[in-house]
Chains A and B, each alone.
Chain A
């Protein structure tokens, strides 16, 4: 199959163009580190199946950044049959510099000019025919997000027309295009006050929508919970009649565990959508410059801002974003502090325990945990900076144009997040629920017993581990076992608690807060640990995981101790 590579400056629309051509689902983002490795997909053109290769953005073939090197190495050493250079219309001049460098690769090249309508709205123009004649290659234009514009490239993909060697360097350019300066309110959107206001407001809106009493996330979550209850009742009525008690319990436990985790899907979706809107709007690059001064004092720089924000979504994804930071000390410090940013997978755990223990104050406690995690992770970065003393390299970044995010792209990215979340629920949670049920239903003499019986194998394992949880006020082995399940996937904690406490949880405040502190602080899931090992190296990654686990226990003990001191001072019995 013939292979076509898609090349261009960062944020020129390569992944969007590919999504339009292939109908597939490459992640589209507006910040570095979205495409960090080559990605291949197949598509049909004129009855022929072709391979499309999406490459990370580059400014030139003389690379220095890790992800640019991926593209340059690919272009120079891999076999492929053609290049599509994707250029943003307003930056055509720079794209032609890259085009000149690409001609040295001696492959057929086509130029796709994206955001063409935006340029014409500003009063700009490009003489497409003259440009095509001058560069000796086909030039296409339009909007990468529109399939009909993307399919204009079919004439380039047509095998009969593929030509090598006619491409020429472009010396004279003034008569080819006119690109006016975009003065559209750019001054206001670059104000520091605007950036901080947007960031603060959007954080408030996202958190309240996800967890607030009248928020979309909480509302949909309640509906799903009620549906799951109904479904479990009906299922139990059927399975009790048609299966043995053991099998009936297994089926209903599995269903309830998956359902409970699924009920937090709306909240995860709202958080993910909020972060994506910030990214798609082009706001992040401005945020990087505005925050650079403050972050530099902590040994980071503005480029870490988006990774840190991403840590609220998923630690694994945030670590992947951090791998795109070209400054090694900043990349390391970001990787060290990211596990202390609380990710959305822990949100269901916080929500479950806070609802039971804090009632109507639950949203405030959850927001408090997020705020604490933000401050603590930055403090950890500062400690790391003071320890090694290596100053971060100066920030230079291209500011993305502020745009209203496209609903189509937001929806595609959200679909991907929910699909990954759904897959994690179906695999890890189902497996952990089944294993827990089996271990909980087998006694130490290997006979069947009632689920979660105190004589079960699970209870025996749990009691041997709960010893280290006692100083944080947790005596029940079921909480200890659930925390261990969370090592595989944090959503597993909720499913485990749900199946081990079929009548519901009760946890007093004096134990709930230390338990929450432990859940917040202990190492992230295995996929995040794996990403951490990849970024930091196995030795440092393992060291961080051990330090984090020890810190989690000590932190939880300290919270418990603080509560006891305050209670004693206030004369309250606990």
Chain B
């Protein structure tokens, strides 16, 4: 499923990021990459989304958020 379809405060794991190279690299440096578990915090009507992983909250525009596939994480 896509990141933007996640439920608030749900726990997920990143399956695939197909955003552009620069955005993907920025996300990696902030600790958000394939296989990483995260909490989905917020989605904005005209904005993107905010996720949280290992104490870091990451904000991303909709152009990035709609290129991220995730899976529900059991724990």
Contact A59:B59 (CB < 8 A) given known A179-B54, A187-B42, A394-B64: no
Chain A contacts with B in 395-419, Cβ cutoff 8 A: 395-399, 401
**Interface membership of A93, Cβ < 8 A:** yes
With the chains together, A288 CA to B46 CA distance in Å? 12
The listed residue (A291, A292, A396) touching B58 by CB distance below 8 A is A396
With the chains together, A286 CA to B58 CA distance in Å? 10
The listed residue (B22, B41, B45, B47) touching A302 by CB distance below 8 A is B47
Q: How many residues of B contact A (CB 8 A)?
A: 34
How far is the CB of A391 from the nearest CB of chain B, in Å?
A: 8
Q: Please tell me if the beta carbons of B48 and A186 are within 8 angstroms of each other in the complex.
A: no
Q: Please tell me if the beta carbons of A59 and B29 are within 8 angstroms of each other in the complex.
A: yes
Contact A396:B41 (CB < 8 A) given known A90-B55, A289-B50: no
How far is the CB of A85 from the nearest CB of chain B, in Å?
A: 16
**Interface membership of A64, Cβ < 8 A:** yes
Q: Which of A94, A286, A292 has the most chain B CB atoms closer than 10 A to its own CB? A: A292
Contact A395:B41 (CB < 8 A) given known A90-B55, A182-B55: no
Inside 8 A of B23's CB, which chain A residues have their CB? 393-394, 396
Q: Please tell me if the beta carbons of B61 and A296 are within 8 angstroms of each other in the complex.
A: yes
How far is the CB of A398 from the nearest CB of chain B, in Å?
A: 6
**Interface membership of B20, Cβ < 8 A:** yes
Inside 8 A of A182's CB, which chain B residues have their CB? 55
**Interface membership of A526, Cβ < 8 A:** no
The listed residue (A93, A190, A290) touching B54 by CB distance below 8 A is A93
Contact A179:B55 (CB < 8 A) given known A187-B8, A192-B45, A394-B64: yes
Pick 11 A–B contacts, CB within 8 A, sort by A: A59-B29, A64-B25, A94-B31, A181-B39, A293-B47, A296-B62, A302-B47, A302-B59, A396-B27, A398-B56, A399-B59
Query: Which A residues lie at the B interface, using CB under 8 A?
Result: 59-60, 64, 90-91, 93-94, 179, 181-182, 186-187, 190-192, 285-286, 288-294, 296, 301-302, 393-399, 401
Query: Which B residues lie at the A interface, using CB under 8 A?
Result: 8-9, 19-20, 22-23, 25-27, 29-31, 39, 41-42, 44-50, 52, 54-64
Closest 8 CB pairs of A and B: A293-B46, A289-B59, A395-B61, A399-B57, A394-B63, A396-B26, A59-B29, A394-B64
A394-B23, A395-B63 are known; give 19 further A-B pairs, CB within 8 A.
Answer: A90-B55, A91-B56, A93-B54, A190-B50, A289-B61, A292-B44, A292-B59, A293-B46, A294-B46, A393-B20, A393-B23, A395-B61, A396-B26, A396-B30, A396-B60, A396-B61, A397-B58, A398-B59, A399-B58
